[in-house]
Amino acid sequence: MSEDFLHSSIEYLKGVGPERGRLLRAELGIKTFMDLLGHYPFRYVDRTRVWTVPEVFSEPEQEVQLVVRLQDLRALRGGRGKRLVGMAHCGPHEIELMWFKGIQWISKKMHLGRTYVIYGKPQRQKDKLIFAHPEMEELPEGRIFSGKGLQPVYSSTEKLSGKGLSSSGIAKLCRELIGRSEWDLPELFPAQWLAEFHWPARRSAMETIHAPSSSESLHQARERMKFEEFFLLQIHVLRHRIRIQNDFRGLAMERVGEAFHRFYEEVLPFDLTEAQKRVMKEIRSDMGNGKQMNRLLQGDVGSGKTIIALMSMLIAHDNGAQACLMAPTEILATQHYHSLKELLDPLNLNVRLLTGSTKKAAREEIHRCLQDGSLPFIVGTHALLEEVVRFRSLGLAVIDEQHRFGVAQRARLWKKGSTPPHVLVMTATPIPRTLAMSVHGDLDVSVIDELPPGRKAIKTAYRSESKRLEVIGFLKAEIEKGRQVYVVFPLIEESSKMDYKNLMEGYEHLQEMFPRPDYEVAIVHGRMKPEEKEHEMQRFAKGVCQILVATTVIEVGVNVPNASVMLLESCERFGLSQLHQLRGRVGRGADQSYCILMSGEQLSNEARKRIEIMVRTQDGFEIAEEDLKLRGPGDLLGTRQSGSLELKLASLVHDGPLLQLARVRAQKILASDQNLDAYPGVKKAYRERYGQKVNWGRIS
């Protein structure tokens, strides 16, 4: 027995040959015997059960299997064209069979008086069942039929089907290969693990997946293989993290000193939530232990991440280091700057803002003060990454909204000192835990899963275009009460002409409905100059304007607690997490807030689903899970990041607990054996899976 056998070229398998071999390569990427084994069935047809006619009538419509005796068969020509009609007995009941194609061939193959196993989804006509083009197989005389078990169904293509390799053709090849004795798949897990979870060994699991004997054994086999996928993935991400930790020592910031304490006791305007306290503890321990911190801070919109960022920055300061906060947009950076400044002023600590539009003189001064260390804190955009920006000692970099900064950019921050700074990445886009564990394996994850007290749930409703006047009336009533309103239009690409036209028309329409001098309507969008945007935002923030018309530039960060209504136009065009982010702009003050989703009358199923979810829940993590289900991980992350996530059987959506288990086991092994020397099977499988990406040299 050997594994080399499985590396044989696919055309050498009995039943394949050069032509089919070429097609299998081209169409499905199946090059070797092993690849064929890895072409798992995507579903199974349950052919265990043999039905009776009354059972078929008493259960919901579905595919069923019956044993019948053929009584009559005749070709008919009629209004609906040529067809072949058969009558058959199933016990005492009569059923009808029908073919519209392949009539000659079928009538030759079938014989009156013989018994057949038929399979298909029948139509019900009064008390009669009609099967159109059922699958049929003759049952030899005298044999009792007891079901065919679970039949694997494989994906195929039109070209392959044309060469006899539809699902059933591929199934035949798999059976042929499974039946060979020359191959083996050496086990890679310790025997105790298999025993513990009642998992079959590797080869046996593979056999069961292609030829299951029962649904129980199939389940166990699939669990085992899913676990293997997750486990190797976890080994991959965890090894990456170990490498980072070994390569980069961090600044040990053991002191929690004066600035932190004074802030906590004298400035902090509220009590931290329990979740904030827990996260703060995690960060303090990370920053103090001498290793470089790489932490992802997840917290729903409004959960209070800014305070956490600030307090972490104060720890850096108390340990003689500088800290920066980087945001993806100018508006957001400015907003952060103002909130930090307000909290730092009472402590007499200086913070400055550096963006693309900072004037030359100011910029040069900031550069100088960062370099000589006289400026302890800086907030900025990508401008912070420029070569000319140098710190005397950068101890902490906080990055807001991580999904817009790549890993490479994070790495550039590290180069700003001899020892890399601690990194705290904050995101308001909740990433499902399973995804975070898989993709951000190099980051530890902290979660603020609790909103500050006193927040009222945001009332969310869907209104179609026909209700527009009522909606306008509602806005008027809210403004009457002193509240403010956001109206957001989709502008997917800031250059898109149609979107821009809609935005402007919407703006004009609102100006007509809410005329001066009683009302003021502000507008911000991506084509405006930063100072114009800032000016309009300020008019809204100060309450001069009651309505802010915007595109998604306001998606992140804006904090106007008096704004209590979010109206989302053409909401069907926003993604789920984007809708959630936008809704999070309201509900920050003491008043009841509202989110109104508006759309035209025509909605796709998926858009309808998104709207339903938004109306149903406000829990960011639940929404993220739903988003993952709707879109899949590739779409959520962009294809580049999800490359290592090519899971064949395992699902990040459905197999969370198994992923957790895989992570724990992988951690345990790596803790004592980073090179997997005691686990040659794991090492080999891992190398095969993650091949060239594996760099053993750097770990030791």
Q: Looking at beta carbons, which residue is closest to ligand ADP?
A: 304
Q: How far is the CB of 270 from ligand ADP (least distance, A)?
A: 4
Stretch that binds ligand ADP, among 66-74, 302-310, 481-489, 682-690 (CB under 6 A): 302-310
274 near ligand ADP, judged by CB under 6 A:
no
Q: How far is the CB of 446 from ligand ADP (least distance, A)?
A: 12
Q: How far is the CB of 289 from ligand ADP (least distance, A)?
A: 25
276 near ligand ADP, judged by CB under 6 A:
yes
Stretch that binds ligand ADP, among 214-222, 300-308, 479-487, 507-515 (CB under 6 A): 300-308
Q: How far is the CB of 617 from ligand ADP (least distance, A)?
A: 18
Q: How far is the CB of 285 from ligand ADP (least distance, A)?
A: 20
- Cβ-count burial 79-96 (b if 16+ within 10 Å, e if not): eeeebbebebebeebbbb
Stretch that binds ligand ADP, among 9-17, 24-32, 269-277, 354-362 (CB under 6 A): 269-277
User: Could you tell me the CA-to-CA distances from 90 to 56, 61, 99, 145 in Å, in that order?
Assistant: 12, 18, 19, 13
Phi and psi torsions of 137, nearest 5°: -145, 135
**Which amino acid, 527?**
R
Name the E strands within 121-194.
123-125, 128-132, 135-138, 149-153
Could you say which of 20, 202, 226, 305 contacts ligand ADP (CB under 6 A)? 305
User: Could you tell me the CA-to-CA distances from 320 to 392, 396, 435, 489, 556 in Å, in that order?
Assistant: 10, 11, 36, 46, 31
Strand 64-78 versus strand 115-120 pairing type: antiparallel
Q: How far is the CB of 282 from ligand ADP (least distance, A)?
A: 16
307 near ligand ADP, judged by CB under 6 A:
yes
Q: How far is the CB of 637 from ligand ADP (least distance, A)?
A: 22
Q: How far is the CB of 557 from ligand ADP (least distance, A)?
A: 7
Tell me if residue 306 falls in helix, strand or coil.
helix
- CA–CA distance, 278 with 236 (Å, rounded to integer): 28
273 near ligand ADP, judged by CB under 6 A:
yes
632 near ligand ADP, judged by CB under 6 A:
no
User: Could you tell me the CA-to-CA distances from 386 to 324, 356, 413 in Å, in that order?
Assistant: 14, 11, 9
Measured from the CB atom, the residue of 335 and 551 that comes closer to ligand ADP is 335
- CA–CA distance, 308 with 478 (Å, rounded to integer): 33
Structure tokens at 557: 């960060």
The residues, ordered by sequence, that sit 6+ positions from 55 with a Cβ below 8 Å of its Cβ are: none
57 near ligand ADP, judged by CB under 6 A:
no
Q: How far is the CB of 511 from ligand ADP (least distance, A)?
A: 30
Q: How far is the CB of 620 from ligand ADP (least distance, A)?
A: 10
Q: How far is the CB of 545 from ligand ADP (least distance, A)?
A: 20
446 near ligand ADP, judged by CB under 6 A:
no
Measured from the CB atom, the residue of 590 and 671 that comes closer to ligand ADP is 590
Measured from the CB atom, the residue of 28 and 428 that comes closer to ligand ADP is 428
- CA–CA distance, 422 with 363 (Å, rounded to integer): 25
Stretch that binds ligand ADP, among 12-20, 99-107, 146-154, 270-278 (CB under 6 A): 270-278
- CA–CA distance, 627 with 383 (Å, rounded to integer): 33
Instruction: Using alpha carbons only, give the angle 382, 387, 391 rounded to the nearest 5 degrees.
Output: 90
Could you say which of 41, 152, 288, 299 contacts ligand ADP (CB under 6 A)? 299
Tell me if residue 545 falls in helix, strand or coil.
coil
Name the E strands within 213-344.
294-299, 322-326
Stretch that binds ligand ADP, among 4-12, 98-106, 209-217, 296-304 (CB under 6 A): 296-304
User: Could you tell me the CA-to-CA distances from 426 to 242, 306, 348, 351, 403 in Å, in that order?
Assistant: 22, 9, 26, 20, 9
Structure tokens at 295: 């932490």
Stretch that binds ligand ADP, among 7-15, 75-83, 265-273, 604-612 (CB under 6 A): 265-273
Stretch that binds ligand ADP, among 68-76, 101-109, 301-309, 632-640 (CB under 6 A): 301-309
Q: Using alpha carbons only, how large is the chain's radius of gyration in Å?
A: 32
398 near ligand ADP, judged by CB under 6 A:
no
- CA–CA distance, 398 with 332 (Å, rounded to integer): 14
490 near ligand ADP, judged by CB under 6 A:
no
- CA–CA distance, 381 with 590 (Å, rounded to integer): 32
CA 510 to chain centre: 36
**Which amino acid, 251?**
L
Could you say which of 57, 105, 248, 270 contacts ligand ADP (CB under 6 A)? 270
Q: Give the DSSP H/E element, type plus range, for residue 354.
A: strand 351-354
Could you say which of 212, 304, 328, 395 contacts ligand ADP (CB under 6 A)? 304
253 near ligand ADP, judged by CB under 6 A:
no
Stretch that binds ligand ADP, among 4-12, 160-168, 303-311, 367-375 (CB under 6 A): 303-311
- CA–CA distance, 654 with 18 (Å, rounded to integer): 39
Sign of CA dihedral 629, 632, 637, 638: negative
CA neighbor of 309 nearest in space, from 431, 419, 423? 423
- CA–CA distance, 184 with 37 (Å, rounded to integer): 12
Structure tokens at 511: 């100006």
306 near ligand ADP, judged by CB under 6 A:
yes
Measured from the CB atom, the residue of 93 and 404 that comes closer to ligand ADP is 404
Could you say which of 156, 208, 234, 303 contacts ligand ADP (CB under 6 A)? 303
395 near ligand ADP, judged by CB under 6 A:
no
- CA–CA distance, 498 with 477 (Å, rounded to integer): 31
Could you say which of 559, 641, 651, 674 contacts ligand ADP (CB under 6 A)? 559
Stretch that binds ligand ADP, among 294-302, 313-321, 479-487, 620-628 (CB under 6 A): 294-302
Measured from the CB atom, the residue of 484 and 599 that comes closer to ligand ADP is 484
272 near ligand ADP, judged by CB under 6 A:
yes
Burial class (CB in 10 A: 0-12, 13-18, 19+), 423: buried
Measured from the CB atom, the residue of 377 and 686 that comes closer to ligand ADP is 377
Check residue 25 and report its DSSP letter: H
Measured from the CB atom, the residue of 423 and 426 that comes closer to ligand ADP is 426
581 near ligand ADP, judged by CB under 6 A:
no
Binding mask 418-437 for ligand ADP (x = CB under 6 A): ----------x---------
- Contacts with ligand ADP by CB under 6 A: the residue count is 16
Tell me if residue 62 falls in helix, strand or coil.
coil
Could you say which of 452, 575, 632, 681 contacts ligand ADP (CB under 6 A)? 452
CA dihedral 53, 54, 57, 58 (to 10 degrees): -140
Give residues in contact with ligand ADP (CB under 6 A): 270, 272-273, 276, 299, 301-307, 428, 452, 559, 588
